[in-house]
Homo-oligomer: A and B are copies of this chain.
Amino acid sequence: MTEPSTTLRTGFVGLGVMGRPMATRLLAAGFPTTVTSRTAAAVQELVRAGATAAATPGAVALASDVVLVMVPETADLEAVMEPPDGVLGGAHEALVIVAMGTHDPSAMPRLAARAAAVGAAFLDAPVSGGDVGAREGTLSIMVGGDETAFERARPVFEAMGSRVAHLGPSGAGQIAKAANQLIVGSTIEAVAEAFTLAARAGLDVARLRDVLDGGFAASRILEVHGRRMLDRDFTPGGRAQLHAKDARIILALADELGVDLPGFTPIAAAFQQLVDEGHGDLDHSALITLLERRSPGATAD
């Protein structure tokens, strides 16, 4: 791991389930950090941990060398960027702006061009590993955009993640994240189907999970989300609603590139159905409840 530069000032915009522990890691690594969020309580929590509060994203940018934006929707990101109060309103030549949420890849070059117009750099750097990885500083961070800007921001990434990779030009991080979410969503559905089938056949699903974990079925999802399914604990974690949004990004990207996704397409529909039935705020592992409703009598607990 690179030694964090004591002169690199960081900023954080968006202190939700992911942003809060990520900003906490920056403070713990010794970066002077300025924060803002729609949630006053989250700002206060970070201030108690040593952060400086700012009124607007623009003010955060003005006080920072690297400003990280962690908001859920691409529209939220665009709103948070907009001058005069947004990040671009406080942009300067030393600034690297980093979009860490999961966003539409095609929006990234557009935002990078707007940043470049005011002399700033813009990277897309979505993450995987969930709130657990954010707390432990073990996220995977997938970066797209200018490589020089990536190298400048690298110590900041390394304070939050154990795998940091530059994957290509603006948008490449988001494409990698789309690939990630495709695998994560598909694996959640696979574990949910396997558990539902086994439960319905009368097997002890906890014992099944343990033995599956030693073979080719082993995955981080079987471990973490399989546990959530067994415990019937669907506190997010990753909200189903966000995964439904990610699924739309994945299908749009596949459509644009002419790639057929026979496995993921019905899973995208399942996430949307979960949202439509009013369960969008549950963890994405709640896909199993949809299966159970479709297959009366089958439960994994």
Contacts and interface: CB of A to CB of B under 8 A. Distances in A.
Given A128-B214, A129-B214, A263-B270, 12 more contacts: A128-B215, A138-B214, A139-B214, A142-B208, A165-B210, A180-B212, A182-B190, A183-B217, A186-B186, A193-B259, A258-B296, A258-B298
Contact of A197 (B128, B139, B259): B259
Interface in A249-284: 250, 253-254, 257-267, 269-270
Interface secondary structure of A, over-half rule = helix
A208 B174 CA distance: 12
27 contacts: A128-B216, A129-B216, A133-B216, A139-B214, A139-B215, A164-B211, A165-B211, A167-B207, A167-B208, A168-B202, A176-B203, A179-B203, A180-B194, A180-B216, A183-B187, A187-B219, A190-B263, A193-B259, A197-B254, A200-B257, A218-B220, A257-B298, A259-B291, A260-B291, A260-B294, A263-B270, A266-B266
Contacts of A161: 214
A182 B194 contact: yes
A296 B260 CA distance: 10
A172 interface: yes
A76 to B, nearest CB: 22
Contacts of A175: 197-198, 201, 203
Contacts of A5: none
B165 A259 contact: no
A116 interface: no
A235 interface: no
Contacts of A190: 182-183, 186-187, 190, 263-264
B168 A203 contact: yes
Contacts of A172: 201-203
Q: Which 9 A-B pairs have the closest CB atoms?
A: A128-B215, A163-B214, A186-B190, A219-B219, A140-B215, A140-B214, A179-B194, A165-B211, A183-B217
B211 A176 contact: yes
A137 to B, nearest CB: 12
Contacts of A138: 214
